[in-house]
Structure 1
Amino acid sequence: MRIYFLSRRKLILLLMFLITIGGLLTINLLTQTIPSLVRTPGTYYMAKTQEKVVALTFDDGPDPVDTPDILNILKEKDVRATFFVLGKAAESNPALLKRLVKEGHEIGNHGFTHDYQQRKLVAEMNQTDQVVFNSTGNHTYFYRPPGGLVSKTQMEATKRNGHVVALWSVDSKDWRNPGVKQIIDNVMKNVFPGAIILMHDGGYQRTQTVKSLEPILNALKASGYRFVTLSELRTLDSDLK
């Protein structure tokens, strides 16, 4: 067995190299996981059920271009979903909030400004809830933190504020704009009874999401799935009965 000795200079260079690689791996890991941090204890990310039901959810809207296209598809397919609206976007599009409720969809709370750190968590939650109430007469019940990032303290504050932290168990990863086929595959390869599916109707251009939605709905229906809102999903959860 050979034993190699490194000079002080080489050792320092090696350590610097390893630190750099470690940093790059950490950055890459964070990039790949946001907003896919799911299955956090104390949050609602799936229902325990044998029935083939799923809850389709959309974040970051309402958007004046993409949300109507998504609503048109959902209406044509007779599918109801849950929309986690940003207060800032909702304030600018009250007619879309009214349409969401009129067509049987549920409105969730996604904060007001999409602040990942949620520095004004309760204030933003209440601000968005008021915007929704002003347009629809309904209050929000579910809260989805931006990026799915939530600490124990934030979960406790959300609960005290009368909201349930709702995440997801199937990420379409449409936020990456990976291509229509990939978005469809991300859903269909990971779906299961009781799953909560994450998609987006705002934030950026969602052309790929719009194009992938109908094939996803068709494929899930062909596999025997039906669609429910988050509130309906909870009524089917055997752990909550």
Structure 2
Amino acid sequence: MRIYVLSRQKLLLGLLFLFTVGGILAITQFTLTTPSLVRTPGTYYMANTPEKVVALTFDDGPDPIDTPDILDILKEKEVRATFFVLGKAAQSNPDLLKRLVKEGHEIGNHGFNHDYQQRHLVKEMNQTDQAVYAATGYHTYFYRPPGGFVSKTQLETTNRNGHVVALWSVDSKDWRNPGVKQIVDNVVKNVFPGSIILMHDGGYQRSQTVKSLGPIIDALRARGYRLATLSELKTLDSETK
């Protein structure tokens, strides 16, 4: 058996290498798991406009408990939003889809099973679109990939399928359930003209989202912001004119 003796210099170099590799891996993992920090070319994540207009968007619904509460608040505040629905939830809650359309909201496509890898991208988009059309008579236009993850190939595939990939520029981080005040702060402190705001009305228990929604709307309006659907926001985008 051989015994290897490391010098102090070699030991320090070895530790430095490990820390460097570990740091790179940590940064890579952080980037991959926080897509809200990534502005993917070719996607729609904000409008280029000086007007103080923003879009509220909700993912993972419709949910029979939390979605009605969110709709009640939006109705009371006279706000129209965009809901990225999961096909599986849409099939189970067609009446909520009908209510969304009746009250002037926009329905986006979030896939069928919330598959982060999107292994059956076109199939899931079409299944969700069919569920929305069966309930409302409308087709989906915007597609939001689960988790916000999208490769160049998936982006091209989505475009060929007649959808626009819509991400976001302000993350409420309500999916962390950090507390109502923190959710409000995450939006209000980071908002800017043309922002697309990410929130959730399904997936898990969303009572914090429900409680934060009214204060968020009030705070945005107090700062001079108007709230619109994604399609309305896109008409203001200087790059699309």
Answer whether TM exceeds 0.5 for this pair: yes
- Tell me the SS of whatever aligns to 1:39: coil
Per-residue CA deviation, residues 139-198 of structure 1 (Å, 9 max, x unaligned), is 000000011110110010000000000001111111111111111111011101111000
Aligned length: 236
Taking the aligned partners of 1:96 and 1:38, their CA distance within structure 2 comes to 32
CA RMSD of aligned residues (A): 2.1
Taking the aligned partners of 2:218 and 2:9, their CA distance within structure 1 comes to 64
Check conservation: 2:184, 2:216, Cα contact below 8 A: yes
One-letter identity of the residue aligned with 2:30: L
One-letter identity of the residue aligned with 2:74: L
Match status 1:174 vs 2:174:
yes
Taking the aligned partners of 2:107 and 2:240, their CA distance within structure 1 comes to 21
* Residue 190 to residue 131, structure 1, CA distance change in 2 (3 Å): same
1:60-71 to 2 correspondences below 5 Å: 60-71=60-71
Check conservation: 1:84, 1:110, Cα contact below 8 A: yes
Per-residue CA deviation, residues 100-137 of structure 1 (Å, 9 max, x unaligned), is 00000000000001111100000000000000000000
Tell me the residue number matched to 2:106.
106
Percent sequence identity over matched residues? 76
1:1-241 to 2 correspondences below 5 Å: 5-6=7-8, 10=11, 14=15, 18=19, 21-22=22-23, 25-26=26-27, 29-30=30-31, 33-241=33-241
TM-score by length of 2: 0.91
Check conservation: 2:61, 2:203, Cα contact below 8 A: yes
**Offset of 1:20 from its aligned partner?**
8.0
* Residue 143 to residue 112, structure 1, CA distance change in 2 (3 Å): same
* Residue 161 to residue 45, structure 1, CA distance change in 2 (3 Å): same
* Residue 95 to residue 23, structure 1, CA distance change in 2 (3 Å): same
Check conservation: 2:47, 2:234, Cα contact below 8 A: yes
Taking the aligned partners of 1:120 and 1:217, their CA distance within structure 2 comes to 36
Specify every segment of 5 or more residues in structure 2 that has no aligned partner in the other structure, as ranges: 1-5
* Residue 229 to residue 178, structure 1, CA distance change in 2 (3 Å): same
Deviates more, 1:10-19 or 1:190-199: 10-19
Specify every segment of 5 or more residues in structure 1 that has no aligned partner in the other structure, as ranges: none
TM-score by length of 1: 0.91
Deviates more, 1:124-133 or 1:35-44: 35-44
